[in-house]
């Protein structure tokens, strides 16, 4: 009579190729269906892009049942109807100018802390400067959206 443990081992080894083949078949069945999906909608610019972003966020909020977020986004969408591309561009450029001023302020603070020489204060000022630079980069990226 064969040893049961060796019999079950052979069975498990024998199933591995079957499982691999099934996984491969599942993937190959998924790929054509996935490839047939339409391409994601092209990113719009200006006010149309802003409205598109609000509508996308609104769908997410509705799907997750976040009533407060839905209400706020509906108000934002209503306000977006007053948007003009020129006005949006001015607003975004204003944010860049504000962020540039904040970076300059943070650079001056860092220089002041470096002159005093306290490492703890220098580290904190450097972190604030890094945050201000990140905000500036984000504001600059928005100008071209």
Candidates 98, 97, 117, 138; CA nearest to 125 is: 117
Average the pLDDT over 27-48 and give the result.
Answer: 58
Residues 106-118: pLDDT tens digits?
999 999 999 999 9
At residue 60, does pLDDT exceed 50? yes
pLDDT at residue 70 is higher than 90: yes
pLDDT tens-place string over residues 2-15:
555 555 544 455 55
pLDDT in tens, 84-112: 999 999 999 999 999 999 999 999 999 99
E-only strand ranges, 5-134: none
Given this model, what pLDDT does residue 33 score? 41
**Higher local confidence (pLDDT), 28 or 74:** 74
Q: Is 117 left (phi over 0), alpha (psi -120 to 50) or beta?
A: left
Q: Considering only 21-30, 43-52, 99-108, which range has the smallest mean pLDDT?
A: 21-30
Measure the CA–CA gap between 52 and 45, rounded to whole angstroms: 9
pLDDT of the residue at 5: 52
pLDDT-derived band at 47 (thresholds 50, 70, 90) equals very high
């Amino acid at each position: 009579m064969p040893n049961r443990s060796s019999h079950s081992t052979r069975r498990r080894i024998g199933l591995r190729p079957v499982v691999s083949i099934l996984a491969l078949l599942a993937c190959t069945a998924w790929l054509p269906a996935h490839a047939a999906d339409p391409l994601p909608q092209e990113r719009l610019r200006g006010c149309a892009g802003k409205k598109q972003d609000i509508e996308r966020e609104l769908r997410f909020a509705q799907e997750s049942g976040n009533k407060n977020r839905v209400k706020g986004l509906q108000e934002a969408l209503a306000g977006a109807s007053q948007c003009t591309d020129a006005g949006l561009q001015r607003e975004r450029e204003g944010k860049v100018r504000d962020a540039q001023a904040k970076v300059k302020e943070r650079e001056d603070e860092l220089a002041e802390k470096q002159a005093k020489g306290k490492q703890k204060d220098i580290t904190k000022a450097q972190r604030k400067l890094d945050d201000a630079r990140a905000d500036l980069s984000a504001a600059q990226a928005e100008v071209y959206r």
